[in-house]
Amino acid sequence: MTYFILQDIFYIVILIILSIPLGIYMYKVMAGQKVFLTPLLFPMESRIYKLMGIQADKEMRAKEYAFSVTGFSSIGLVFLWVLQMLQGILPLNPEGIKGTSWHLAFNTAASFVSNTNWQAYSGETALSYLSQSLGLTVQNFVSAATGIAVLFSLMRGLILKEKTTIGSFWTDLTRTTLYILIPLSLITALLIASQGVVQTLSPYKDVVLLENGAVQTIPLGPAAGQIAIKQLGTNGGGFFGANSAFPLENPTPFSNLVQCLSLLLIPAGLCVSFGKAVKDSKQGKAIYAAMLILFVICLAAVTFCEQYTAPVFDDAAASGNLEGKEIIHGVGLSSLWAAATTAVSNGSVNSMHDSFTPLGGMIPMFLMQLGEIVFGGVGSGLYGMLAFVLLTVFIAGLMVGRTPEYLGKKIEPFDMKMVCIIVLVPPLFTLLGTAAAVLMPEAPSWLTNSGAHGFSEILYAFTSMGNNNGSAFGGYAANTVFTNITGGIIMLIARFAPMTAAIYLAENLACKKTVAPGEGTLSTSNAMFVGLLISIILIIGALTFFPALALGPIADYFTTVK
């Protein structure tokens, strides 16, 4: 266990060290300040604006910003939907893979446009190189950029005074993609390709096995580029069906470290960016601390459960739960990845979560059910956490009889309505989707397991879709008409309803005057507030999901053979 603790500490230290300069850099980019890449990329940025026919400094109100977000995403949804169905007659398809069904294409398009990357298929058998590259990889970039853009619009709402505009979506989208996501993805792709992650347009290769002379087909493809952005953009869709447990997607301990760091790097850095944007680094540190504390608690819990709560059988050594895990990762690195990928809205996996112990599998599930705010998705995680911050401030204000304030802005009824949409929509549709699936007569035939574990598989699936994560327990037959359509709709609503609310919240905050702090103003940057914020998050999560968890993983634990 000591070894697990040391490797987790090493990971967290490296994450903090890397996130601080990245956060400062991202703030400068989004504020329009010069950075070291400006001489190289500014001419390209200007040409993009000219090609799009927009003015970089023309700001938008909430209605126009939200319409641009949803309109742009809708075009991407339709394009990706059609591309998958027609891939059989399009180029870059050396294996001759046929087009997908209309409902699977819809689900996949909704999944990648919403930054969920839930997959009801195996990439190497269902999608062509063209669909993977032009369809999925492009959406990995722009869906991540959209989340960061909306976050910065909310940041502007908090710092602007008596203004009705919150920036330009097109400018935010372009700068995020050009200055942040593409450079980071190039670096990450080169690092993991050096470890053996494939990046080629060559057809699949047949090899003869030395042991028995059998022929095995090795899937190939332009994987490294997609894997880099899937991790950095908290997208998570695997190029191959086995995701980051597949040797050609994650072959070495170093590639595992690079990819696992990539999961949290941008969300953690955005906390630093927030502190810079509001000109109070303590505010960013407080949110960073709350996220990090929750992450460490959950990481310790899942690691403990996987090491010590697995069934022990006669004449077998107690070595932790290694079922469904790659030997090179073991319990420690598998638990670290599981906590990281569900803390953020990523969903990539390097082990089979369905094979985790009941309580070990419950922790990643609960991390998603908190609303993907423990660092969370790029952009969406922090604006989700800011919604909880405003909720905490509001509750604290009610307790002492004061008008709640945050960063000098009074929090009023309209603000709380938007906060409620951000906080409550994902759990609402998680539970509605789970209930609908359980009531379907075909539900037992979709499951590998029955009883409490079977219910856990359904709950995990809709938790993943309802919280823009994309990981899966496995054991649930997801490629059905019901799940593809229902899940696709849930993913779109759970992404764009809170996102639209965040945009309107930004405008409402920007319109307000700032008030000077008084003697009774609640500090939102000290240890007491961090503790209160964590308590509010855990209470809401527990009240919302404890009954479902009691029927699933908790019941599964008490009925598992010891």
Residue 112 to residue 118: CA distance in whole angstroms: 8
* Interval 31-57 mean pLDDT: 93
For the chain, give the mean pLDDT.
Answer: 92
Coil/strand/helix, residue 351? strand
Identify residue 465 by its one-letter amino acid code. M
Cβ neighbours, 10 Å, residue 3: 10
Say which residues have a Cβ less than 8 Å from residue 122's Cβ, sequence separation at least 6. 240, 241
Q: Look at residue 321 in the predicted model and tell me its pLDDT.
A: 87
Q: Among residues 426, 295, 297, 306, which one has the least CA distance to residue 355?
A: 306
Cα distance between residue 493 and residue 467, in whole Å:
10
Asked whether 229 and 137 are in contact (CB, 8 A), the reply is yes
pLDDT digits (tens, 9 = 90+) for 264-275: 999 999 999 999
Q: Which residue has tokens 């689900």?
A: 107
**Dihedral, CA of residue 480, residue 482, residue 485 and residue 491, to nearest 10:** -100
Strand partners, 263: none
Number of residues assigned to the chain: 562
Rounded CA Rg of the chain: 23
pLDDT-derived band at 452, boundaries 50, 70, 90: very high
Q: What are phi and psi of 448, to 5 degrees?
A: -80, -30
Residue 222 · residue 192 · CB < 8 Å: no
Question: What's the pTM value of the predicted model, to 2 decimals?
Answer: 0.95
pLDDT in tens, 379-395: 999 999 999 999 999 99
Taking residue 395's Cβ as centre, other Cβ atoms within 10 Å add up to 13
**Three-state secondary structure call for residue 550:** helix
Q: How far is Cα 186 from Cα 104, in angstroms, rounded to an integer?
A: 30
Task: Tell me the pLDDT band of 561, cut-offs 50, 70 and 90.
Answer: low
Under 8 Å between Cβ of 416 and 394: yes
What pLDDT, in 10s, does the model give residues 152-205? 999 999 999 999 999 999 999 999 999 999 999 999 999 999 999 999 989 999
pLDDT value of position 271: 97
For position 150, what pLDDT does the model report? Answer: 97
Closest residue by Cα to residue 277 from 521, 28, 1: 28
Res 315 pLDDT > 60: no
